[in-house]
Amino acid sequence: MKIITLLLLTLFSYSAFGQSFKKSICEHRKTYKEAFKEEGSPLQANEIRYLRFFKPDEDYRVRATFTRTPDEQPFDMVTSSGMMKKYVKYGELDFEIKGNSHSLEVYQSLRLRAMPQYRDYLFIPFKDKTNGTSTYGAGRYLDIEIPDIQDGMLVLDFNKTYNPYCAFKDGYNCPRPPMANHLKIAIEAGEKKYAKK
């Protein structure tokens, strides 16, 4: 009887977490869509309905080991327009997805670092095997903040990946993911290709 009770409690806890996870991703996406109503958005209000996403998937929410790289020199990250933007490599993330090991570099914008309200912002541009098919061809982005890193660990949630503005309209300077951040797997999570033709 105790074993059955324990099993039921475990299943209930897992189900409750799953519902909580899905709800948090839905809330995140709602906030994301609302941001497109602000000034400077590449979308008109009636175009927001063309945003598309993969279903929330806990397999793409992983714990990553973070390694700080404090001695890196600033470099020019190329953008979609050919213009360069100054970044510095802040650290590296090592993680597993579906039993396979992967890594990504984490960058910090020198421009944002100089602004008190954005000095904790970190940037993870990446490409994967979905680019050009179900997702935007030039890659997608993830944002984290320095306080998200605790004791050398970080929860990396690919369900929160988003498209650069260049996925919606020309005229933006969108950083291109460096070769170090070209993943050899399909990340079927986060934002899909913009649906408006």
Per-residue pLDDT of the chain (197 residues; tens, 9 = 90+): 544 444 434 444 444 446 799 999 999 999 999 999 998 899 999 999 999 999 999 999 999 999 999 999 999 999 999 999 999 999 999 999 989 999 999 999 999 999 999 999 999 999 999 999 999 999 999 999 999 999 999 999 999 999 999 999 999 999 999 999 999 999 999 999 999 97
> How would you write the chain as a 3-class SS string?
CHHHHHHHHHHHHHHHHHHHHHHHHHHHHHHHHHHCCCCCCCCCHHHHHHCCECCCCHHHEEEEEEEECCCCCCEEEEECCCCEEEEEEEEEEEEEECCEEEEEEEEEEHHHHCCHHHCCEEEEEEECCCECCCECCCCEEEEEEHHHCECCEEEEEHHHCECCHHHCCCCCCCECCCHHHECCCCCCCCECCCCCC
**Total-model pTM:** 0.89
